[in-house]
Structure 1
Amino acid sequence: MKKIITLALAVLAAGATVTTPATAEAAAIPRGFLLYEKDAAKKDNDPETNWTVGNSAKARLAVNPCDRRTLAATGRVAARTVTFTGVPDFMKVEQVILYGSRASAASAVAQVRAALVKCAARTDSGASYRYASSRLTGLGDEALRISGQVHYGRKAGVGGDRSVLVRKGNAVLVYLWAGEYDKPAKGDWSVQLRDARRMTAKICDIAACG
């Protein structure tokens, strides 16, 4: 089980490379635009917690069931990923990606849906890491609520992630938490939904939504 959880968290963390905010990709996303950038900028002396901010448009999508760096990568023009990690295995990710067109952004979401079907389960050492998703209404142009969870047979084990993915115009947003979860419960997405609504309400300041 530990191997599966570690693999899942490694996939999520892969997009959190640290770069300077002066890159060309970052120019389309103003510094401080993401909700958690202010927290990430604060000095953190706790050795068990860490913030990273990445500005690469090639960053791995935070929700990535098939562990493919190319998932939803085509057509990007800018991206920013803010990641918080805490001992022993808690993680939260905020990711905002701008595509060159609304069609490219819609294609990216379609790729995520396909990956959730194709790679719905990953098995290792008698345990599996399973994904499930459902559509969300009233949030952006399209949105998904996604869960990943360790299972032993039909029983949920410790280790999972909960995310909300939203497309608005040519922008795709991801808010993800990963940590010690039992089987998915409705309240697991409360913070991610709150953050996704806040970002969706202002994303048209930098995205093509009309």
Structure 2
Amino acid sequence: MKKIITLSLAVLAAAATVTPPAAATAVAIPRGFLLYEKDAAKKDDDPETNWKVGNSAKARLAVDPCDRGTPAAAGRVAARTVTFTGVPDFMKVEQVILYGSRASAVSAVAQVRAALARCRARTDAGSGYRYASSRLTGLGDEALRISGQVYYGRKAGVGGERSVLVRKGDAVFVYLWAGEYSAPGKGDWSVQLRDARKMTAKICGIATCG
């Protein structure tokens, strides 16, 4: 549970720090391009839910296994992060990042893989938090399905995250859900995969994919 709260605060802080985008950034990611921007723009009077939209190219990557805010940071030219949080511990994140070159985007995904390997298991106050990932085929140029989960010994506890990370050309995008999960199950990624397919189909409108 501590992991979920920490993750929520980190992503919200990054999303809330909105810096005025340069002209090139505004052209690169048009307003309303992300799938959840329309939902985020709707008036929400529910005190238990919250939407945030951030345009900082320095925003923390939604998938950060080592909790350092460093993976996939170099070479960015634009980014947008949409974050939804709900009581008690639900969060979903949509994040689209454009890099200055295909090589920088490839390097960004390699850094995420390295972080997943380096920090696949962490221990905190008697519980552990473990990451697992697998390659996805047929989605962008390369893609990962990622899980993070609280464990007590070998038993899964409450608190986890499920994400899909995709690279297409010089763009990287993430769809993440975090909440009160039990042991990872195949259906945990159904919405994230659906959203990732939608973004894969449209991302070349703003990214260099050739």
Judge conservation of contact 2:11–2:83 (CA < 8 Å) in 1. Answer: no
Cα 1:26–1:119 change in 2 (3 A) is farther
The one-letter code sitting in structure 1 at the alignment partner of 2:15 is: A
Aligned length: 208
Q: Could you tell me how far apart the structure 2 residues matched to 1:154 and 1:13 are?
A: 31
Matches within 5 A, 1:2-151: 2-19=1-18, 23-24=21-22, 25-151=25-151
Structure 1 partner of 2:197: 197
Q: Which residue of 2 aligns with 1:208?
A: 208
2:161 aligns with 161
* Alignment partners' CA distance in 2, 1:82 and 1:5: 17
SS in 2 for 1:161: strand
**Equivalent pair of 1:164/1:176 in contact (CA under 8 Å):** yes
For structure 1, the 5+ residue unaligned runs are none
Q: Which runs of 4+ in 1 moved over 4 A?
A: none
Give a deviation string over 1:74-111, Cα, whole Å, max 9, x none: 00000000000000000000000000000000000000
Task: Tell me if structure 2 keeps the 8 A contact 1:140–1:168.
Answer: yes
- 1:14 Cα deviation from its structure 2 partner: 4.0
Given the superposition, is the C-alpha separation of residues 122 and 14 from structure 1 closer, same or farther in structure 2, using an over 3 Å criterion?
A: farther
Q: How many Å separate the matches in 2 of 1:95 and 1:149?
A: 21
Distance (Å, rounded) in 2 between the aligned partners of 1:132 and 1:14: 26
Q: With the length of structure 1 as denominator, give the TM-score of the two structures.
A: 0.95
1:18 CA drift (Å): 4.8
| Alignment CA distance shift 1:14-1:119 (3 Å) | farther
Partners of 2:26 and 2:91 lie apart in 1 by: 23
Whether the 8 Å contact between 2:121 and 2:130 is mirrored in structure 1 is yes
> Equivalent residue of 1:81, what SS?
strand
- Which amino acid letter does the alignment assign opposite residue 3 of structure 2? I
What SS does the aligned partner of 1:132 have? strand
How many Å apart are 1:138 and its aligned residue? 0.3
- Do the aligned partners of 2:140 and 2:166 also contact (CA within 8 Å) in 1? yes
Q: Which runs of 5+ in 2 are unaligned?
A: none
Deviation for aligned residue 1:27: 3.5
Partners of 1:14 and 1:144 in 2: CA distance: 25
Say if 1:4 and 1:124, in contact at 8 Å, map to a contact too.
Answer: no
